[in-house]
Structure 1
Amino acid sequence: TVDLTSLINDADSDISNEIQNLSEVLTEGNTADAQIKNVTDPTDAQDAATKAYVDALEAQIAALDARITTLEPATVGDFRNGGVVFWVDPTDNTHGLVCAIEDQSSVIPWNNGSYIVTGATGTAVGTGAANTDAIIAAQGPTETDYAAGLARAYTGGGFNDWFLPSQDELNEMYLNKAAIEATATANSGAVFYNDYYWSSSEVNNPYAWYQSFADGNKLGFFKYISYYVRAVRAF
């Protein structure tokens, strides 16, 4: 029970019009009728249990919101999942590929200083991630010194599963260049250069595929040549 007389600090000692000191009120026990509680760090067991339940419920709601966003139908040019949608899986229209809103370097070579066969031969949409894994496994840990490693090191949107696009994935980016650029620049990104971009698709020991973003031409050329890189990821 709160002793009201102990909280009176006005001149007339009348408990009907006392001026209370908040710091004193807060020290008068831990009961609902005697203390203003700290709801963010409750000491009462029931309050603590209630807060834990509410916190868990809010976490579940946040997780459901994230899943709903993931399952929303995607359209080329959407800004979501860390980048700009440039390809949508036609089987369900909720999954696809996004590219980064800007390039990851000025120019950089495909290889890591020596010619080796990496086995990154996939060219189709959906093979870029496996290509990137193969290139990094073959070329070593100095990842930011070559195209595939630099793409994997990118963490745009808080994601760490970016990769260097395959030949066909890169071509989809070129075909949707205008839509990508419109969304990228609206979200503090940048346009593509009218220059060459590396794919993750290997041709043979000395060559890998690249594509011109000026005219769309696709060619195989020496891996030591430095071209631009724009990372992609699946959602």
Structure 2
Amino acid sequence: MSLHIRKEPTIILNILLLTIGITFSSSGFTDQSGNHKRTNSDASINHTTDSHEQNKPIAGLKKKITSLRKALDKVIADLEEITGPTTPKKVGDLYGGGIIFYIDSSGMHGLIASLADQSDGIPWVGGDDIIYAVARADGFGVGHQNTTLIIASHKTVNLISDYAAKLAMDYSVQDDGISACTGLASEICHKNWYLPSASELALLYSQKDLVGGFAQDTYWSSSEVESTNDRDRDTYGIYFASNTSKYGIGFHNSQLSKTDNARVRAIRSF
């Protein structure tokens, strides 16, 4: 069914534009009696006036066509938010408000990175006490689950600041990946971003040059360290400069205190 999402609105638009064109060509240059507006004598006297009058409906038609195409683009984008893309994508494509940094073998599912950091330094925990969110899932596509658990766990504490997971979840951007959403019904706005899991963050690190915009600094993941030996106060992060983390070798040994400040780069899946 999704294979026809792009074709059907396009056919409808073409029919609509053809109808408008036929209506315009058949009625735009006749008077109410059906006679042609201009005579030979009128043509020589009122050429400038006639040309100006004729251009009015043409300009109006062009404006309507532009509006229809924008409306069609929004319909397609809204449908793809639910069903996924209608054509295969590849790593490096600008899509869904960011850049694709991972794609599966089908080309229809993958991960999108936002084009800029959401924070240059923010704690993982935003309450007045250290929380354990049980956000221990790792792998591809599980960062959203971790982010949801982190936000839910904060509902029981006294918030004293924003925190990484909420900043990622609250992020939204228009289709160009740059402009902030304004709430206009006509704009294409991409939401459902989240804080990447440790593995998703490691993959993002491997594509850091492709995605771009990263600082030589530590970035948060949403994956908590297992709660043993009082390690529930830590979570994973990666230092985006070399394979050596600021806190150890490799991302699985990069344990940060949840009260530390680190950067946030939101991602989303499709």
Fold shared per TM-score above 0.5: yes
Q: CA RMSD in A?
A: 3.8
Partner of 2:240: 213
* 1:63 aligned residue: 75
Contact map agreement 2:122 2:164 (CA 8 A) in 1: yes
Task: Report the Cα offset of residue 56 of structure 1.
Answer: 9.3
Rounded to whole Å, the distance in 1 between the matches of 2:203 and 2:73 is 35
Q: Quick check: which one's helix share is greater?
A: 2
User: For residues 142-188 of structure 1, what are the alpha-carbon distances to aligned partners after superposition, in whole Å with 9 as ceiling and x for unaligned?
Assistant: 6971110111111124222110000000011001111111xxxxxxx
Uncovered stretches (5+) of structure 2, i.e. residues with no partner: 1-30, 33-40, 46-56, 58-63, 178-188, 244-249
Q: Tell me the CA shift for residue 87 of structure 1.
A: 0.9
Structure 1, unaligned runs of 5 or more: 3-15, 20-37, 39-50, 182-189
1:171 to 186, 190, 202: 202
Question: Quick check: 2:126–2:161 contact (8 Å CA) kept in 1?
Answer: no
2:141 paired with 1:126: yes
Q: TM-score, normalised by structure 1?
A: 0.67
For 1:84-123, list aligned pairs within 5 A: 84-90=99-105, 92-113=106-127, 114-123=129-138
The percentage of counterpart residues that share the same residue type is 36
**Please, which of 200, 221, 224 is the counterpart of residue 199 of structure 1?**
221
SS in 1 for 2:219: strand
* Residue 159 of structure 1 pairs with residue 186 of structure 2: no
- Which deviations, in whole Å up to 9, do the C-alpha atoms of 1:68-88 show, x marking residues without a partner? 982322222211111011111
- Distance across 2 between alignment mates of 1:124 and 1:64: 30
Q: Does 1:224 align with 2:241?
A: no
Check conservation: 1:162, 1:232, Cα contact below 8 A: yes
Given that 1:200 and 1:209 are in contact with CA atoms closer than 8 Å, whether structure 2 keeps it comes out as yes
Alpha-carbon contact 2:144-2:194 (below 8 Å) kept: yes
Cα pair distance change 1:169/1:143, threshold 3 Å: farther
Q: 1:227 to 1:61 in 2, by over 3 A?
A: closer
Kindly provide the CA deviation profile for residues 51-110 of structure 1, in whole angstroms up to 9, marking residues without a partner as x.
9xxx999966863576498232222221111101111123x1111111110101111111
Q: Could you say which residue in structure 2 is the equivalent of 1:150?
A: 167
Pick closer, same or farther for the CA change 1:69–1:160 going to 2, 3 Å.
closer
TM norm structure 2: 0.59
| Aligned residues between the structures | 193
The verdict on how the C-alpha distance between 1:226 and 1:64 changes in structure 2, with shifts beyond 3 A counting, is closer
SS in 2 for 1:145: coil
Tell me which residue corresponds to 2:13.
Answer: none
**2:97 counterpart residue number:** 82
Distance 1:93 1:143, change over 3 A: farther
- The answer to whether the 8 Å contact 1:128/1:164 transfers is yes
